[in-house]
Chain A
């Protein structure tokens, strides 16, 4: 396993290098006007040249790339160029991560607990009340666009309970609604998939055998069915958890939460190259590690899955 892990991580470094380089080049394909925002209109040529030169955009492409990697090796991600000029990228990101992390993790915990419970309840009582209730909920969440029901919840729930509408750091009351709103989608999808896989599993012979053996049905559910049903989902879990640092664009913009939600979109639009590169680097590292952990987790849940290639199988 260790050897496998090391090999895979080394390979990931190469992948990371390719990703960041591609993004680096893609950003340079964007038009120069984008670096100036609205100011472009009133500038004269000398100023535009001065500004672009200062941003390092007048150097030949390969020099820019080499400089970027040189600094990266020193651990320097550079300074923002248009989002908050001259402020180190890490400083910007560092302030935002805790918020997204909290809301993300809290919502994953809630979604997992509630969603999985609901999914099991649905599968155990197929076509009975819990199943119908759960299906109704899942259908509702899926059917109404998130952009609409988030806004609805914010305006009407705060109105009914006389809560402040916007998030305030030191008012715990304002933490609740965004957390719950963020969990709604997760609950629905966990419930749906758990139900789906469990119903598939329940039809299998080993379950019938276990039943015939007279095993407690609760035990069957938890020890066997749930464990097997959880395998396909386990794959996604690490990445989902790690990616909470990316934040949620809808929730964060509605409640004024100063997290990472939408930051990447925003900085891409503003063409803040350094910030984009830093974010892509962080997100892809997370994505790669997440995929790797997912594979391992899957192998742990289901010992039949073998990740390593044993002596020239094919």
Chain B
């Protein structure tokens, strides 16, 4: 047996001795700021002109710079463009490109200078359908003739509204005045790419760190899919004094959510998301309590939609639901009956309130002169009130019962499918079912939950209208409240409010459509524009077409980064950048986080006022 054991050990040593690769660069350099992190989902590509997935362009954001940046308060600051101005009619934007910025290859060698032509070449690449860009539509939603070129109606690229006036002057021509255009320049479809390089590598552009050019803060030194990535500081970067982390090690681990916290506690990584089930445990452990803090919420918005065009199976009585959903009191009874805190405890048991949102458009999304959009007009009423109100719910229920008596069959079946791929969602569906039935009574509603497979979930359920009451979400495409009207405007695939009975305006359109149209038409006066959009959004909530629920992000994490140092913007690549962030000696705790948050909010108001 001993001999056997010895043999085994030798075998093991031999095999491990001649292991596949051995390429660790000697970590002899001392005093470098190194940040290590686990990640659980591998990217499919580095090609920032193709992807629309945040985790993918989050990497590219650190490798390639954008025309404009946002500072930590969300004020637009120069990036690769040093100055910009728009023509009086708002149709032509001219940007001055920073001189002397270099493209470098993955081993740090200079390749070319960054010029205005790089944006033209990137656009050409983007608008070629063969390149499968997933963000081309965002580009051609604003740029003149771009959609026509994409669809092949125009073959002459010079007619598309992007032009290099000279090496350092770039000009965009828009379809129509777009007040939020500047914020879009921070998105992936407006990043530059060197045309010669694109041609040189062809299809392989962005498939790995070699077939990629860098002009941003970091260079990707190592890229081994499903293994690790290493980013090192770009020594040629134009703003390298603002890069404080020299090296970022990312290690792939599919079980990062389970193992991350333990690895953080052992000091092997500098960041770990703390799953909801662990938060309480850590909070009670004196040695771990100071390691964790809440996360900031994102601009992803979650809401419950009431479907006005029910297409689900007859066994769940879609006709009956249709009668009920067209009754305002019925809708309002559901609106006030949903206990959102109880629902949120399935995702965020420790501090459920931090993620709740009372509006569709999140707070701090856009502002005018420091006045937040959610503080405009009627929307303000909802911003600060919890929709859950048992008394009101019961009051509306009684009225609805009276009005629907003889018209609808009680209990009304509220058909609520959920995605069985998400445990949290499945739990939440059960919580909501029981909570609403308990409050309103099973003689009034019968919430039926139904597990649907993750495969094709959205097409099968939401887009095809096969639900009565559904948790939906939406993320912004640009920094303007208009982006949050898309799900509800005719043509949207959410809850089809255009099928509502009543609310007809004299011009034959539904009220909501007219409200949005009026707001969209206001392109010069931002203050007025926000006012009008706020009115439209308030209408949706007031009439209980939707129940605003929550924001994305949130949860807790243990991290050696200060979240308030990071670039802040509601949209685009800036929030993904490590630029400007320093490593903390000790992770921030919850108290510090709340203090910093308060300080940041105060400073932000000042910064925004000064900016305008």
Q: Do the two chains touch directly in the complex (Cβ atoms below 8 Å apart)?
A: yes
Instruction: Indicate whether A99 sits within 8 Å of B52 (C-beta atoms), given known contacts A30-B455, A40-B458.
Output: no
Assuming A42-B477, A169-B20, is B224 touching A258 (CB within 8 A)? Answer: yes
A117 and B207 within 8 A (CB): no
Does residue B434 face the partner (Cβ distance < 8 Å to A)?
no
Indicate with 1 or 0, residue by residue over A213-245, a CB within 8 angstroms of chain B CB atoms: 000000000000000000000000000000000
A176 in the interface (beta carbon within 8 A): yes
Question: A173-189 toward B: CB 8 Å interface, digit per residue (1/0)?
Answer: 00110010000000000
Most chain A beta-carbon neighbours within 10 Å: one of B130, B226, B477: B226
Tally of A interface residues using CB under 8 Å: 55
Distance of A46 Cα from B129 Cα, bound (Å):
9
Report A-chain residues with C-beta under 8 Å of the C-beta of B50.
85
8 Å CB contacts to B: which residues of A23-51? 30-31, 33-34, 36-44, 46-47, 50-51
Flag if A33 contacts B459 (CB, 8 Å).
yes
Q: Judging by beta carbons under 8 Å apart, are B4 and A117 in contact?
A: yes
Question: Once the chains are docked, how many angstroms separate the CA of A46 from the CA of B8?
Answer: 59
Residue ID in chain B nearest A52 by CB atoms: B132
Cβ B204 vs Cβ A253 within 8 A = no
Q: Is the CB of A170 within 8 A of B19?
A: yes
B33 within 8 A of A: no
Does A113 sit within 8 A of B, measured CB to CB? Answer: yes
Residue of B nearest to A113 (CB): B4
- On whether the beta carbons of B137 and A47 are closer than 8 Å, the reply is yes
Tell me whether A155 and B132 are in contact in the complex, defined as CB-CB below 8 angstroms, given that A37-B53, A41-B458, A176-B12 are known contacts. no
Q: Given the complex of chains A and B, what is the CA–CA distance between A256 and B38 in angstroms?
A: 10
Residues on the A chain within 8 Å of B16, using CB: 172, 175
If A39-B52, A253-B253 touch, does A85 touch B137 (CB 8 Å cutoff)?
A: no
* Contacting residues of chain A (86-122) with chain B, CB-CB under 8 angstroms: 86-87, 92, 95-96, 98-99, 102, 106, 109-110, 113-114, 117
- A42 in complex: contacting residue of B12, B22, B52, CB < 8 Å: B52
The 8 Å CB contact of B19, one of A31, A39, A46, A169, is: A169
A165 on the B face (CB < 8 A): yes
CA distance A254 to B226 in the complex (A): 12
A39 to B51, CA, bound (A): 8
Smallest beta-carbon distance A150→chain B, Å: 10
Q: Which of B99-147 contact A (CB under 8 A)?
A: 129-130, 132-134, 136-138
A297 within 8 A of partner (CB): no
A117 neighbours in B (Cβ, 8 Å): 1, 4
Tell me if B21 counts as interface (CB < 8 A to partner A).
Answer: yes
Q: Bound complex: CA of A42 vs CA of B483, how far in Å?
A: 12
| Complex Cα–Cα for A262 and B255 (A) | 13
Q: Does A274 sit at the interface, judged by CB under 8 A?
A: no
Contact present for A51 and B19 (CB under 8 Å):
no
Shortest beta-carbon distance, A313 to chain B, in Å?
45
Q: Is A54 an interface residue (CB 8 A)?
A: yes
Q: Across the interface, which residues of A come within 8 angstroms of B51, CB to CB?
A: 39
Q: Digitize B1-28: 1 where CB-to-A-CB distance is under 8 Å, 0 elsewhere.
A: 1001000100111011101111010000
- For A306, list chain B residues within 8 Å (CB): none
Complex alpha-carbon distance, A234 and B179, angstroms: 74
| Contact of A151 with B258 in the complex, beta carbons under 8 Å | yes
Q: Known interface pairs A50-B132, A54-B129, A110-B8. Does A83 touch B44 (Cβ–Cβ under 8 Å)? A: yes
Residue numbers in A under 8 Å from B207 (CB-CB): 84-87
Q: Mark B47-64, 1 if CB is under 8 A from A, else 0.
A: 100111100000000000
The residues of B that contact A43 with a CB separation of less than 8 Å are 134, 137
B254 on the A face (CB < 8 A): yes
CB pair B132 A51 closer than 8 Å: yes
| Residues of chain A within 8 A of B44, CB atoms compared | 82-85
B45 touches A (CB below 8 Å): yes
User: Does A164 make an interface contact (CB < 8 A)?
Assistant: yes
**B 184-223 binary contact with A (CB < 8 Å = 1; else 0):** 0000000000000000000110011000000000000000
CB of B137 within 8 A of CB of A258, answer no
> Do B20 and A172 have beta carbons less than 8 Å apart?
no
Does A141 touch B at the CB level, under 8 Å? no
* Contacting residues, chain B, for A288 (C-beta < 8 A): none
Write out the residue numbers on chain B whose beta carbons fall within 8 Å of the beta carbon of A51.
132, 134
Q: Could you say which of B224, B268, B458 contacts A33, with CB atoms under 8 Å apart?
A: B458
In the complex, A281 has a CB within 8 A of chain B: no
Contact (Cβ within 8 A) A109 B11: yes
Among B259-267, B308-316, B375-383, B392-400, which stretch is in contact with chain A? B259-267
A253-B254 contact, Cβ under 8 Å, with A43-B134, A47-B136: yes
- Evaluate contact between A172 and B226: CB separation under 8 angstroms: no
What residue in chain A is nearest B17 (Cβ atoms)? A172
How many Å lie between the Cα of A176 and that of B8 in the bound state?
A: 11
Q: Give, as a whole number of angstroms, the nearest-CB distance from B292 to chain A.
A: 19
Interfacial chain B residues near A170, Cβ < 8 Å: 19, 22, 24
Chain A contacts of B262 at CB under 8 A? 155, 165
Q: Does B539 contact A (CB under 8 A)?
A: no
A169–B253 CB distance below 8 A: no
Determine if A166 is an interface residue (Cβ-Cβ < 8 Å). yes
Q: Classify the interface of chain A: helix, strand, loop or mixed.
A: helix
A84 near B263: Cβ-Cβ < 8 Å? no
B interface residues, tally (CB under 8 Å): 55
Let me know if A254 and B458 touch, CB within 8 A. Answer: no
CA gap between A46 and B134 in the complex, in Å: 11
Separation of A114 and B15 alpha carbons in the complex (Å) = 19
Partner of B254, one of A53, A85, A109, A262: A262
A16–B266 Cα gap in the complex (Å)? 49
Instruction: Scan residues 220-272 of chain B and give those whose CB is less than 8 A from a CB of chain A.
Output: 224-227, 251-255, 258-259, 262-263, 266, 268
Which residues of chain B have C-beta atoms less than 8 A from A169's C-beta? 19-22, 24
Q: Report the minimum CB–CB distance from B476 to chain A (whole Å).
A: 11
Query: Is B251 in contact with A256, judged by CB distance below 8 angstroms?
Result: yes
Q: Is B562 an interface residue (CB 8 A)?
A: no
The one of B129, B227, B255 in contact with A258, judged by C-beta atoms closer than 8 angstroms, is: B227
What separation, in Å, do the CA atoms of A258 and B203 have in the docked complex? 25
CA distance A258 to B130 in the complex (A): 31
* A46: min CB distance to chain B, Å: 6
Contact status B134-A42, CB under 8 Å: yes
The minimal Cβ–Cβ distance linking A252 to chain B, given in whole angstroms, is 8
State in angstroms the CA–CA spacing of A92 and B225 once bound together: 9
| Residue ID in chain B nearest A150 by CB atoms | B255
State in angstroms the CA–CA spacing of A113 and B268 once bound together.
Answer: 35
Q: A268 CB to closest chain B CB, in angstroms?
A: 11
Smallest CB-CB separation from B457: which chain A residue?
A33
Which residue of chain A has the shortest Cβ distance to B493 in the bound complex? A41
Contact yes or no, A256 B52, CB < 8 A = no
Return B135 CB to nearest CB of chain A, in Å. 8
The reply on B610 being an interface residue by CB < 8 A is no
Residues on B with C-beta less than 8 A from A102 are 15, 19
A43 to B4, CA, bound (A): 61
Contact B203 A86 (CB under 8 A): yes
Tell me, in angstroms, the Cα distance from A86 to B45 when the chains sit together: 9
Measured between alpha carbons, how far is A85 from B255 in the docked complex, in Å? 24
Task: Determine the chain B residues whose CB is within 8 A of the CB of A86 once the complex forms.
Answer: 45, 203-204, 207
Task: For the complex formed, measure the closest distance between the CB of B36 and the CB atoms of chain A, giving whole angstroms.
Answer: 11
| Chain B neighbourhood of A34, CB < 8 A | 455-456
28 A–B contact pairs at CB < 8 A? A33-B458, A33-B459, A38-B53, A42-B138, A46-B129, A46-B137, A47-B134, A47-B136, A50-B130, A84-B207, A85-B50, A85-B132, A86-B45, A86-B203, A95-B224, A96-B226, A102-B19, A106-B12, A117-B1, A165-B263, A165-B266, A165-B268, A169-B24, A175-B15, A254-B253, A254-B255, A258-B252, A262-B254
Binding site for B on A (CB under 8 A): 30-31, 33-34, 36-44, 46-47, 50-51, 53-54, 82-87, 92, 95-96, 98-99, 102, 106, 109-110, 113-114, 117, 151, 154-155, 164-166, 169-170, 172, 175-176, 179, 252-254, 256, 258, 262
> Which 3 pairs of residues, A with B, have the shortest CB-CB distance?
A50-B129, A253-B254, A31-B456
